[in-house]
A and B are shown apart, each in its own frame.
Chain A
Amino acid sequence: MKTVTLEIDGKKIEAKGGMTLLEAARELGIEIPTLCYQEQLAPYGACRLCSVEIIKGERSRVVAACVYPVEEGLIVKTDSPRVVSIRRMLIEFMLAVAPRTKVIEDLAARYGVEGTRFEAEANLCILCGLCVRYCAEVKKANAIGFVGRGISRQVAFLPEIASKTCMSCRECFSLCPTAKIPRETDGVCFLDLTVDDFLSRQSK
């Protein structure tokens, strides 16, 4: 692929075509916060923490750095006021969903977010999808998946598969940024947090 020249936070960089803005920024030593991004997994673009502002000609817009490909002549701002206020709001959302979890408290500290204005609905899962994607893409086990959509979306184990494969693996335990999985499954037979639970709650 051809190389392209762009500017990130005032620094010029020649990047290989097809690279993402996140990768290019990292080459320059610019730290963009991420949550759902993992080098070994396909880019997912769900947490939007890596939001950056791009300027093309007259127009500026916000994109997710982990999925946006580098472009010739692009001007990128990874820390503009617009981007920071987005990140701060995302952190407030996450504090409501997963209070008192290290990863999120660290982020809050970094961005000076002192608390959340939203009522805590502590179910711990921020749906970054790391567990689901790791289980599918790396382990090829597909023992956990997404169910539902919109505000009812969640992750759930499939008991038929989990009972056979999960006990010897448990690699998603350490991947989960809010430690929901180790906290809410017994780690033995994985009978909590299953598709069946989800369905029985839905039909009540």
Chain B
Amino acid sequence: MTAVDEIVDRYQGGKSALIQILLDIQREYYWLPKEALIRLSERLEIPLNQIYHIATFYTAFSLTPRGRHQVMVCTGTACYIRGAPQLLHKVEEMLKVKPGKTSSDMRFTLITANCLGCCALGPVMVINGEYHGNPTTADLGHIFEACE
């Protein structure tokens, strides 16, 4: 848990930095391990139940490990109007994962997002930081195949 301590130290122990610290832990591990939360509770002297409330309140946090490839489908209004539900449905079928969940082989985590700010491309899918505007079924096949 030295990584957690290091992050806490960066913020000089302030309770008010809790959400910022959690964001940093999430970035470091891609999820929030229970041990990290317990350690955080001790270090900041914040009750664990409050930390859990925050960790389950915000979409940035995951309390289960995420897959090797994060597939994000935008379901913001602009993308929705332009066919995000159909895109999401296709991706679900192809990856056999539901939104918010990770495939059992830890290959893919499927998440939805509310507007990524590139509505002109919509409907948008982002995989490992790469943006795809309105991909066809065939495009999706190629994209997913390339992911180990």
| A–B direct contact (CB < 8 Å) | yes
- B7-15, B42-50, B122-130: which lies at the interface: B42-50
B63 and A199 within 8 A (CB): yes
Residue A69 at the chain B interface, CB threshold 8 Å: no
- A13-21, A22-30, A92-100, A136-144: which lies at the interface: A136-144
Which residues does chain A contribute within 8 Å of B47, judged by CB atoms?
Answer: 136, 142, 145
CA distance A182 to B68 in the complex (A): 42
Which among B48, B50, B56 is the interface contact of A160 at CB below 8 angstroms?
B48
Binary per-residue interface labels of chain A (185-198) against chain B in the complex, 1 for a CB within 8 Å, 0 otherwise: 00000000001001
Binary per-residue interface labels of chain B (34-60) against chain A in the complex, 1 for a CB within 8 Å, 0 otherwise: 000010000000011110110011000
B48 and A148 within 8 A (CB): no
Which among A145, A156, A161 is the interface contact of B50 at CB below 8 angstroms?
A145
Which residues does chain B contribute within 8 Å of A74, judged by CB atoms?
Answer: none
B48 and A144 within 8 A (CB): no
Known contacts: A199-B63, A199-B64, A203-B64. The answer to whether A145 contacts B57 by CB under 8 A is: no
Known contacts: A202-B100, A203-B64. The answer to whether A136 contacts B57 by CB under 8 A is: no
Residue A146 at the chain B interface, CB threshold 8 Å: yes
B101 and A145 within 8 A (CB): no
Which residues does chain A contribute within 8 Å of B101, judged by CB atoms?
Answer: 203-204
We find that the number of chain B residues with CB closer than 8 angstroms to chain A is: 14
> Could you count the A-B residue pairs with CB atoms below 8 Å apart for me: how many are there?
45
A84 to chain B, nearest CB (A): 34
Which among A136, A158, A202, A204 is the interface contact of B52 at CB below 8 angstroms?
A158
B52 and A145 within 8 A (CB): yes
Binary per-residue interface labels of chain B (95-116) against chain A in the complex, 1 for a CB within 8 Å, 0 otherwise: 0000011100000000000000
A158 and B48 within 8 A (CB): yes
Residue A103 at the chain B interface, CB threshold 8 Å: no
CA distance A204 to B102 in the complex (A): 9
A143 and B49 within 8 A (CB): yes
Which residues does chain A contribute within 8 Å of B64, judged by CB atoms?
Answer: 199, 202-203
Which among B38, B49, B56 is the interface contact of A136 at CB below 8 angstroms?
B49
Which residues does chain A contribute within 8 Å of B38, judged by CB atoms?
Answer: 160
B53 and A146 within 8 A (CB): yes
Q: Which residue of A lies closest to B101 (CB)?
A: A203
CA distance A28 to B137 in the complex (A): 69
Which among B48, B56, B63 is the interface contact of A161 at CB below 8 angstroms?
B48
Residue A132 at the chain B interface, CB threshold 8 Å: yes
CA distance A160 to B63 in the complex (A): 17
Known: A149-B56, A160-B48, A161-B49. 6 other contacts (CB 8 A): A147-B56, A148-B56, A195-B52, A202-B100, A203-B63, A203-B101
Give A contacts to B, CB under 8 Å: 132, 136, 142-149, 156, 158, 160-161, 195, 198-199, 202-204
